[in-house]
Amino acid sequence: MVVVHQTSAVLVLVTLTLILQSAGMAALIQWAKAHLSRGIHRFGTLRSAVLVIRLTSLVVCLHMLTILPWACFYRWNCFATWESAIYFSAASYSTVGASDLVLPRTRRTLCPIESLVGVLMCGLLQVFYLRLSPV
C-alpha cells in the first residue's frame, strides 16, 4: 500500500512540475516574442545586459514556483516547518542535497526523483535561455 501512495504522490508532483514549467516557458516565449520583435541583433551592451537580467530573473522565479508543490508535499507529510520543507525541496531540486534533513523512510525515493526532475527542468530552461540570449 505504501508503494501505491508513493507512486501516486510522485506522479502528481512530476505532473504539476511539468505543467508549471510548460506554462512558464510558454509565458516566457510569449513575453520574448512581444518584447524582442525588433530583433535582438541591434541591442547595445546595456540593453543586452538588461535583457539577460530580466530573463534570468524570470527563470529563477519559474524554478522557485516549480519547487513549491514539492515543498508543500514535504511540509504536509514529512517536516514540521515550512522552512525545512522549502529548504529540503530546493536542495533536492538543485541536486545540492540537504544532509541535515532526512525524509521518513517511506518517502525517501522522492528526493532522487525531485533531483532528476530539477536537472531536467534546469536543462530545458537553459536551452530556451541560450536560444534567446543576445550575448
Instruction: For residue range 90-109, list pLDDT tens digits in order.
Output: 999 998 887 788 888 888 88
Residue where the block lists cell 522549502 = 86
Mean pLDDT of 26-35: 80
24 vs 18: CA distance, rounded Å: 10
pLDDT of residue 38: 65
Host H or E run for residue 124: helix 110-132
Average predicted confidence (pLDDT) for the chain: 84
What residue segments make up the domains of the chain, in order of their start?
1-12+77-135
Quick one: angle between helices 45-77 and 110-132, nearest 10? 170
Task: State pTM to two decimals.
Answer: 0.81
The model's confidence at residue 40, banded by pLDDT at 50, 70 and 90, is low
The model's confidence at residue 35, banded by pLDDT at 50, 70 and 90, is confident
pLDDT of residue 47: 79
pLDDT of residue 30: 83
The residue type of 28 is: L
pLDDT of residue 133: 56
Residues sharing a CB contact under 8 Å with residue 29, sequence separation 6 or more, in sequence order: 128
